[in-house]
Structure 1
């Protein structure tokens, strides 16, 4: 079938938007392997900027991965039961459930700097806690918890979860048994979708982390800002290159897990 001119117009617009978003990122990554970014590609290619970043900032990379995975664990342990409680409370339509949902969204609506300042004012006097990674983890959990609750709650409300639970209860299954053998398998796609958002948001989160970090708890985005501010432009670009090579395989792997879980649910 012959495609109309509208198809090619939409395709051209889509490619233009993609180029607008991707080209600056590619140029930044290319600068990280260029000998002198101001001279251009004619100056030659090198890996010394990447090696310099790895030697100076590799601890921030492992620290960000650890915080992101810990944030995923905490949000899953807190978010899935919370979504389950909201779904059971008259399908999430009661006044109390709506109030709780709105309170959950407050850390997303409030600027990250304000959230971080509130944490510092509340817990800054505890020096050991203030100087630990746990302090940053608390800020990340506050910010990312809604992104775990919302997808799981949406799946629970759109599935026949109440019918399945009623059938399991009729067979003698208790609350905990129903939760782990009926609820969790049926909302796995929502959990994976929430996990994808939680991990990516935690790794790339800057505003809260910038306020809460110390020189010993610097994470990847804060290190990236430090590299751009205090070193050569090529060093900051090399940091960007390492960031993308770290995050892209993680995103692909989590997308694959999400696709596999949705396929199993359909089957």
Structure 2
């Protein structure tokens, strides 16, 4: 079957859109390794700006990664059981709770940060620590974890799985961790992907919650563009890409692996 002009028109439009998105990314990355951004590549290549970014913002980069990992752990511990309850016990109260859970996503990040400052800003040590930022990140990312896991749990016959495991003598916790959680793995991995990426890249909420001693990667990136040479800001962006892109690829690979059906044992079938 031949391909008509519509196929090539769609292909051309897709390529144009991809170039429109990717060219600024490439230009920003190149600016971070050129001697002078205004002269371009003719000024030569250098790693000076990357080393300067690391010297100035290494603590912010490491802190941002630590907060994203802590955020992932908290949302896993809280989000998976919450998704189970929402799916297993549907009703008015669970629907109301689900709506309240999504409020942090619906309201602007600055408004959420202001609410946290008004409520907990008086606790000095807590306010000055990275745990304050972690609280905001958990509130913002928890709905994504719950929705992803709940969607997978709702698609499987959870009641039948639990009844089958219970008939074999499995208690609640064994049914939950041995049956429900493994079957919900695709949703858990998808939720983990969103939580980590959203936490690392979150700026609006973090900008209001941070202190000079608790800057994260996006806040440091904004400072670099506002107060440093353009090359340093671009080098900071390049470091951000180096950190986030391999993480995205790795987590996507895990998610794809979890979605694949198990391989058939042809040898066993032949024996039967």
Shift, 1:265, TM fit: 6.4
Partner of 2:106: 109
Partner of 1:148: 145
Superposed counterparts of 1:164-243, under 5 Å = 164-243=161-240
**CA distance, structure 1, for counterparts of residue 77 and residue 263 of structure 2:** 25
Per-residue displacement from partner, 1:136-165 (whole Å, max 9, x unpaired)? 000000000011000100001111221111
Per-residue displacement from partner, 1:169-195 (whole Å, max 9, x unpaired)? 122222111111110000011000000
**CA distance, structure 2, for counterparts of residue 256 and residue 81 of structure 1:** 25
Per-residue displacement from partner, 1:54-105 (whole Å, max 9, x unpaired)? 1111111111110000000000000000000001113xxx222211111111
Partner of 1:54: 54
Partner of 1:30: 30
**CA distance, structure 1, for counterparts of residue 198 and residue 16 of structure 2:** 26
**CA distance, structure 2, for counterparts of residue 87 and residue 190 of structure 1:** 13
Work out whether 1:95 is the aligned partner of 2:92. yes
Shift, 1:206, TM fit: 0.3
Partner of 2:7: 7
Per-residue displacement from partner, 1:97-139 (whole Å, max 9, x unpaired)? 2111111110001100010011011011111000001000000
Give the gaps of 5 or more residues in structure 2: 265-272
Q: Is the 8 A contact 1:139 1:208 kept in 2?
A: yes
Which SS does the other structure have where 1:3 is aligned? coil
Give the gaps of 5 or more residues in structure 1: none
Q: Is the 8 A contact 1:34 1:41 kept in 2?
A: yes
Which SS does the other structure have where 2:114 is aligned? helix
Q: How many residues get paired?
A: 264
Work out whether 1:246 is the aligned partner of 2:243. yes
Instruction: Name the Cα RMSD after superposition.
Output: 1.2
Q: Is the 8 A contact 1:161 1:183 kept in 2?
A: yes
**CA distance, structure 1, for counterparts of residue 256 and residue 140 of structure 2:** 25
Partner of 2:267: none
**CA distance, structure 1, for counterparts of residue 22 and residue 115 of structure 2:** 36
